[in-house]
Amino acid sequence: MNIIYKLTLRHLLMNRARTLVTLLGIVLSVATVCAVAGYMHAYIDYAYRNAQAQYGDWHIRFCGLSEEAANRLTKSGIVESARAEPSEYSFFGEGEAFDVYIRLIPGTDAGEAYALEQDIYEGTERHIADYNGVLMALDGISYDDFGLRKSVYALAAALIAVIAGSSAVVIANAFNISAADRVRQFGILKSVGGTGRQIMRAVLFEALALSLAAIPLGAAAGMGLQAGSVIALNRIMTGVGLIGKNGVVLRMAWHPAVLAVTAAVALLTVFLSAWRPARRAAKMPAIEAIRQTRDIYIRKHETKTSPLTQRLFGFEGVLAVKSLKRGKGKHRAAVVSLTVGIVLFVSVYSFVRLMKQSVMSYYDEKYNAALTVYGGADRQDAVNAALSERGDIGFVFWKYIYLLQADYMPPSFYTEEYNEWNGSLGYVSFGSVRLNAVPDADFALLAPESAGIGGIPAVLINTTGDIWSKGRYTSFTPYNMTPGEVLRLYENIVPDEWGSVTWDPVTGEYAGYDEYVSVTLVAETARPPAGAPYSWNGTPSVLIRDSDYRLLTGIYAGSPVYVARGDFLVTAADADIFCEEAEKALSAAGVDSAYFSIRNLGQQRRQDAAIILIVSLAGYGFAALLSLIAATSAAATLSTGMALRRREFAVLYAAGMTGGGLNKMLNLESLFYTLNSIAFGMPLGIAVSYALHAIITRPAGVSAYVPPYAPPLAPLAIAAGAAGLMTFAITAAGKRRLRGLSIAEAIKSEVT
Amino acid sequence: MAILQVKGLTKTYGKGDAQVTALGGVSFSVEKGEFLAIMGASGSGKSTLMHLIGGVDRPTAGSVTVDGNEIYALNESELAIFRRRHIGLVYQFYNLIPTLTAEENIMLPRLLDNRKADESKLRAILETTGLTDRARHLPSELSGGQQQRVSIGRALVNDPALILADEPTGNLDSRGSREIVDLLKLSNKRYNQTLLIITHDEAIALEADRVIVISDGVIVRDEAVR
């Protein structure tokens, strides 16, 4: 074997601890890449089989073809295979008719498929052609040439790029340290005639050797990871009915392409990481490498320490700061690694928290089913009656929210901001008002002071709105909430009469109209009860008491109040049974199924919880793996630093520093590392979590309540604590090795 | 014919007021087979001179010609290969590769050349350096004197035009020093090897054919010893 390679292998074996740490870093990153690539493949595989099981293994079904048309179809250049069955339709007149199931050549342009359909059925009056859309998309048959498969691969590529990028930083760090360790060796090689190319080859061979060892291990670990999570995912998702409906579940993806991608990404990452250290080593002048003169070039201001350090931490503190400043590159590498870990953990935490908040706030623990009835009060009552008769279903209506509509509000109700926005629309829009009726008891909780107020008290909801203007979302307050203000809600005005209605500033009324409903604003709420609309869509919503609603609809026969729909929230003994039985009961009572919809909130909630669980598992797993990669790099940096400084420690001992003093110095170094990482990680983590909050809660149409932003202090503290613990643990391990340090020997010894 | 020609060799560090002249225009030549000692106090510029002759550092001005090749006209790679084949360097601190055995360290310049280890050559060197039964040991398993003999073996392995030894005995006790000087002299006599030795030990200098004394970067004395 070539001497350079032999030398490199021995170097790796001699520095076993660091080699293992570097290997671990590469193994972890390979495993993550392999798992991500594998998942994506497994997902596509699942989606494909699911589409096949659900509809069949065909792209398009042409119904009711004549034999001639069927033959013409089969011979088309874009058809890969075709299968015919007798048809119940016939679009080509008399004679035998067929349904023909075709598979198109993968990658065919969807436009050609539609053209084929037109062509085959040309001249017929009507026809039926079914498209198996998912299967087509997965086979790359789509209009924009960016099928589902490609989107999944794009996502995988983005994730892999993130992993490869962050791995590259930490692996490069490991090679930097290794190359720095070997500087003297390279110097000797150069002095006896080693060329720059040979030195470069030495570092790159190190990369190759490590990759060759790490890639199979990492791929195996990645496969294991994937296998474990496929089992877990199947268990979680089939349990709540998210998958497995057609007997199709996720399975491992053993595609060779996954391994090829993994190996290629790993090799590329490692080589890119090793390239710079290799070039630097190759370019270093022999004389500098032999002398290792770099310490001599330290400039004074680079190791300057403040008098405060001396006063706070003593001389040991000063030495600790100086040594951190001297090893700036290494210091930075360790701090960056620790920071990456902190930020990742906090980001995932924030994302999962937001998801939980926004998705789960949709559900109220008390209800496990929901029933929506469209139409007026009559139908609401009919539904109520039909269900109430069925005592055997076992449910109680806990709360119902009616959606009522009334028109026109006094102009003083609208804020300047609202008018500005309204004006910018280019047309004048007076929104209607939604009156949401809630049980009196619930209303009393929201507005305790409403009891003494006469008339119809109302609680204003949706007090802030998000509008899209100038390319971004901005929040504004659309309505003035003035306690005691009376809103007069008028009947629908048809456009013909528009001109006859005017606002009279003296009486404060719309002249020309007497019919109205008055409600008095008593409170506002940012968190309305479940079922009420959360998001502002240009229409103000108020909550009123159910008893008032009944009064309104009762007293004002043919009143301006129009019932748009009723949302019933249900607490059933068994949601599954309720949903089934309610449907039967309503059909029996003659309510058309077009006028109601029943949702199983329990199951929906379990599904959402399962998705959140999966996302958090994946997120934390991903963060944990990347943080581990970062941690291995920090560990490599710190432990190498300890090994290289044996001589310095010996000098300090020789100069009379006690074991306790040395201990203090090293502990302070650990502390400074941790503080530094926190100093970067804390604001970055908070910034990322704030950005996530802003991005997710901003767009209008979020049908959920998300509490205002709160910095994720607890996870930050945990992450910072973990970083500190790791730093101290590594330093402690290094200190143990210093125990047998012989002053004379260490001072005499060369740094090799 | 001169195997080494040094002309106006100058090396300065730093700029402006902080500029330090380590070597101020040194010129001399050395004949093949000559044993030359270079003396001087510490900081006089002798190590700089040796590094410049050995081609591991680059001069500010001047030229060095070894065996008819002007070494600073070569690029980095060519210079490395030239060093490997024509110059043997011996340092005060041995500079052995700790992960290679004694014989591998000796063969290093040949191995870097991807040339096969010449068994008879290796045996001859091991015998000359008295390391035959230590060949398979790592540097850490050898005494200081033995390590220095390995580095001399390494310098000899390619029959270089020139052996440069920088304080080769500086780190050894008197018995070890004697061994090393005898070994260097032996190679000088047995292989007619040209030898430049940097030392501040008067006794070693007196064994040479010629002594050059350097002070503040310039030659202040150049005379034949015998």
Q: Which residues of A touch B (CB under 8 A)?
A: 2-4, 6-7, 10-11, 14, 184-185, 187-198, 285-287, 290, 750, 752
- Decide if A196 and B83 are in contact by the 8 Å CB cutoff: no
**Nearest chain A Cα distance for residue B77, angstroms:** 5
Q: Are residues A52 and A64 in the same domain?
A: no
Q: What is the DSSP string of A551-619?
A: HHHHHSTT-S-EEEEEEEEEEESSHHHHHHHHHHHHHHTT--GGGEEEE-HHHHHHHHHHHHHHHHHHH
Among chain B residues, the shortest Cα distance to A289 is held by B56
Structure tokens at A417: 């901001």
What span, in angstroms and rounded, lies between the C-alpha atoms of A651 and A742? 11
pLDDT confidence of B27, banded at 50, 70, 90?
very high
* Chain B residues close to A191, C-beta within 8 Å: 54, 56, 83, 89, 91, 95
Query: pLDDT at position A558, please?
Result: 46
Amino acid at A693: H
In A352-479, beta strands by DSSP E: 369-374, 395-407, 432-438, 457-461, 465-469, 472-476
Measured at the CA of A719, the angle between CA A715 and CA A722, to 5 degrees, comes to: 140
| pLDDT reported for residue A393 | 65
- Sheet containing B2-13: which strands, arranged edge to edge? B20-31, B2-13, B61-66, B69-70
Q: What would you report as the CA-atom Rg of chain B, rounded to the nearest whole angstrom?
A: 17
pLDDT of A495 higher than 80 = no
Residue A141 falls inside a structural domain: no
Report d(CA A376, CA A384) in Å as an integer: 13
Question: What is the rounded CA–CA span in Å between residue A208 and residue A169?
Answer: 17
Contacts of B5 (CB under 8 A, 6+ apart): B29, B63, B64, B65
* A contacts of B114 (beta carbons < 8 Å): 2
Residue type, A330: K
* Residue A376 covered by a domain: no
The conformation of residue A479, written as its DSSP 8-state character, comes to B
**Alpha helical stretches, state H, A121-195:** 133-138, 148-181, 183-191
**B112:A196 CB<8 A:** no
Whether A635 contacts A673, CB under 8 Å = no
* Residue predicted with more confidence, A699 or A551: A551
Note whether A554 and A632 are same-domain residues.
no
**Residue at which a domain ends, from A253, A274, A294:** A294
CA distance B224 to chain A (A): 30
Min Cα distance B111 → chain A (Å) is: 6
Given an 8 Å threshold on Cβ–Cβ distance, is B97 in contact with A188? yes
Closest Cα to residue A349, out of A706, A694, A689, A725? A689
Q: Which residue of A has its CA nearest to B152?
A: A192
**Residues in contact with A20: Cβ distance below 8 Å, sequence separation at least 6, in sequence order:** none
Chain A: nearest CA to B219, how far in angstroms?
Answer: 23
Instruction: For residue A475, name the pLDDT band (cuts at 50, 70, 90).
Output: confident
Q: Is residue A351 part of a domain?
A: yes
Q: How far apart are CA A730 and CA B197, in angstroms?
A: 46
Any domain includes A373: no
Q: How close is the nearest chain A Cα to the Cα of B226, in Å?
A: 32
How far away is chain A from the Cα of B108, in angstroms, using its nearest Cα?
8
Query: A195 is written with which tokens?
Result: 């060329």
pLDDT(A722) > 70: yes
Q: What is the mean pLDDT of residues A150-173?
A: 75
B47/chain A closest Cα distance in angstroms: 11
The residue whose two tokens read 């200081």 is: B144
- The predicted pLDDT at position B8 comes to 92
**A613 vs A227: CA distance, rounded Å:** 18
Distance from CA of B162 to the nearest CA of A (A): 13
Question: What's the pLDDT score for residue B199?
Answer: 86
Mention every residue, 6+ apart, whose C-beta is less than 8 A from residue A592: none
Helix, strand, coil shares of chain B, percent, nearest 5, are 40, 30, 35
Of the pLDDT bands very low, low, confident and very high (cuts 50, 70, 90), residue A704 is: low
Q: What separation, in Å, do the N-terminal and C-terminal C-alpha atoms of chain A show? A: 23
What would the two tokens of residue B68 be?
A: 């008819």
In this structure, how many other beta carbons lie within 10 angstroms of the beta carbon of residue A8? Answer: 25
Same domain, A83 and A151: no
3-state helix, strand, coil in chain A (%, to 5): 60, 15, 25
Residue where one domain finishes, among candidates A572, A594, A613: A572
Q: With CB atoms and an 8 Å threshold, state whether A14 touches B113.
A: no
Q: Residue A703's pLDDT band (boundaries 50, 70, 90)? A: very low
For A685, the enclosing helix (H) or strand (E) is helix A659-697
- Check residue A698 and give its pLDDT: 55
Residue A588 lies in a domain: no
Residue A477 has pLDDT above 50, yes or no: yes
Report the pLDDT value the prediction gives residue A55, as an integer from 0 to 100: 85
CATH of the domain at A69: 3.30.70
b/e map A87-99, b = 16+ CB within 10 Å:
beebbbeeeebbb
Size of interface A-B (CB pairs under 8 A): 78
Give the count of beta carbons closer than 10 Å to the beta carbon of residue A686: 18
Give A-chain residues touching B95 at CB under 8 angstroms: 184, 187-188, 191, 290
**Looking at the partner chain, which of B80, B84, B93 has a beta carbon nearest the beta carbon of A750?**
B93
Which of helix, strand or coil describes residue A459?
strand
Give A190 to chain B, closest Cα distance, Å: 7
Model confidence over A611-662: pLDDT tens digits?
888 888 888 887 887 777 777 777 777 776 776 677 677 777 766 777 777 7
Give the pLDDT confidence of A300-309 residue by residue, as tens digits.
556 667 777 7
Least Cα separation, residue A270 to chain B (angstroms) = 25
ipTM of the complex: 0.74
- How many C-beta atoms surround the C-beta of residue B58 within 10 A? 14
Whether the CB-CB separation of A167 and A265 falls below 8 Å is answered with: no
Q: Is B6 helix (H, G, I), strand (E, B) or coil?
A: strand
**Does residue A139 belong to any structural domain of this protein?**
no
Q: What is the pLDDT at residue A147? A: 57
pLDDT of A295 higher than 60: no
How many alpha carbons fall within 13 Å on the CB side of residue A105? 9
Q: What is the 8-class DSSP label of residue A514?
A: -
Residue A514 pLDDT more than 60?
no
The first and second tokens of residue A536, run together, are 């502002």
Highest mean pLDDT among A166-175, B8-17, B28-37: B28-37
In contact, A607 and A240? CB cutoff 8 Å = yes
- Cα A270 to Cα A54, A165, A203, A211: the distances in Å are 44, 11, 11, 7
CB contact under 8 A, B95 and A193: no
- Clarify whether residues A566 and A606 are in a common domain: no
Closest residue in B to A283 (Cα) is B76
pLDDT reported for residue A476: 76
Strand A129-131, strand A98-104: pairing? unpaired
Whether residue A91 is found in the same domain as residue A167 = no
Distance CA A399, CA A401 (A): 7
With CB atoms and an 8 Å threshold, state whether A193 touches B98.
no
Q: What is the predicted pLDDT for the residue at B62? A: 92
Is residue A503 pLDDT above 60, yes or no? no
Q: Indicate which of A15, A188, A297 best probes the interface with B, i.e. most B CBs within 10 Å of its own CB.
A: A188
Cα–Cα distance between A85 and A163 in angstroms, integer?
Answer: 50
Q: Do B97 and A190 touch (CB under 8 A)?
A: no
pLDDT at A666 over 80: yes
Residue A180 has pLDDT above 70, yes or no: yes
Given a cut of 80, whether residue A80 has pLDDT beyond it is: yes
Give the other-Cβ count within 10 Å of B204's Cβ. 23
Look-up of token digits 């054919």: B209
Q: Name the residue facing A3 among B81, B85, B112 (closest C-beta).
A: B112
Structure confidence at residue A392 as a pLDDT band (50, 70, 90) = low
- Residues of chain A with pLDDT > 90, as a percent, come to 3
Same-domain pairing of A29 and A77:
no
Query: Which chain A residue has its CA at the smallest distance from B51's CA?
Result: A287
pLDDT in tens, A515-564: 566 788 888 887 777 666 666 666 778 888 877 876 666 544 444 455 66
Domain co-membership, A304 together with A436: no
Would you state the torsion angle of the CA atoms of residues A28, A30, A34, A37, taken in this order, to the nearest 10 degrees? 110
A200 interaction partners in chain B (CB closer than 8 Å): none
Parent domain of B219: 2-12+21-224
Do A305 and A287 belong together in one domain? no
Q: Give the CATH number for residue B145.
A: 3.40.50.300
Full domain range(s) for residue A483? 395-572
Shared-domain flag, residues A313 and A203: no
Flag whether A586 is in a domain: no
Q: Which residue of A has its CA nearest to B93?
A: A750
Residue B211 sits at φ, ψ, to 5 deg, of -125, 130
Q: Greater confidence, B71 or A313?
A: B71
pLDDT of residue B10: 93
Residues of B with CB under 8 A from a CB of A: 51, 54, 56-58, 76-77, 80-85, 87, 89, 91, 93, 95-100, 104, 108-109, 111-114, 154
Residue reference for tokens 């990028």: A165
Q: What are the chain A neighbours of B57 within 8 Å (beta carbons)?
A: 285-287
CB contact under 8 A, B95 and A188: yes
Report chain B's terminal Cα–Cα distance, integer Å: 20
Q: Which residue of B has its CA nearest to A750?
A: B93
Mutate to test the interface with A, among B50, B94, B95, B156 (most CBs of A within 10 A): B95
Q: Are A703 and A535 in contact (CB under 8 A)?
A: yes
Mean pLDDT for chain A overall: 77
- Reported as a pLDDT band with limits 50, 70 and 90, residue A143 is low
Q: Are strands A457-461 and A516-525 parallel, antiparallel or unpaired?
A: parallel
Claim to verify: residue A610 and residue A746 sit in the same structural domain: yes
Q: Per residue in B135-169, pLDDT tens?
A: 889 888 888 888 888 988 888 888 888 888 888 88
End-of-domain residue from the set A274, A294, A314: A294
Residue A375 lies in a domain: no
Q: What's the CA gap between A591 and A585, in Å, rounded? A: 9
**Of residues A191, A193, A752, nearest to B81 (C-beta):** A193
Number of domains present in the structure of chain B: 1
- Give A206-263 pLDDT, tens digit per residue: 989 999 999 999 999 988 888 888 888 888 888 777 777 777 888 887 778 888 888 8
Asked if A193 lies within 8 A of B56 by C-beta distance, the reply is no
- Note whether A613 and A703 are same-domain residues: yes
- Is the pLDDT confidence value at A740 over 90? no
How many angstroms separate the Cα of B205 from the Cα of each of A76, B144, B151, B169, B208? 98, 21, 20, 12, 5
Q: pLDDT value at position B5? A: 92
Q: Which residues contact A66 (CB under 8 A, 6 or more apart)?
A: A90, A92, A93, A95, A96, A97, A98
Give the model's pLDDT for residue A297: 47
Do A104 and A237 belong to one domain? no
Cα A159 to Cα A44, A153, A224: the distances in Å are 16, 10, 19
On the question of pLDDT at A174 being above 50, the answer is yes
Count of domains observed in chain A: 4
* Weakest mean pLDDT among A313-327, A569-583, B40-54: A313-327
Structure tokens at A80: 């890969």
What string of DSSP letters covers A364-391?
Answer: -TT-SEEEEEES-HHHHHHHHHHHHH-G
- Tell me whether residues B85 and A193 touch, CB distance under 8 A: yes
Q: Residue A34's closest CA among A159, A139, A138, A150?
A: A159
Q: What is the pLDDT of residues A403-427, one digit of tens each?
A: 665 555 667 777 888 777 777 665 5
What's the pLDDT score for residue A294?
A: 44
pLDDT of res. A553:
61
**E-strand spans in chain B?**
2-13, 20-31, 35-39, 61-66, 69-70, 87-90, 162-166, 195-198, 210-215, 218-224
Q: What is the pLDDT of residues B174-201, one digit of tens each?
A: 787 888 888 888 888 888 889 999 888 8
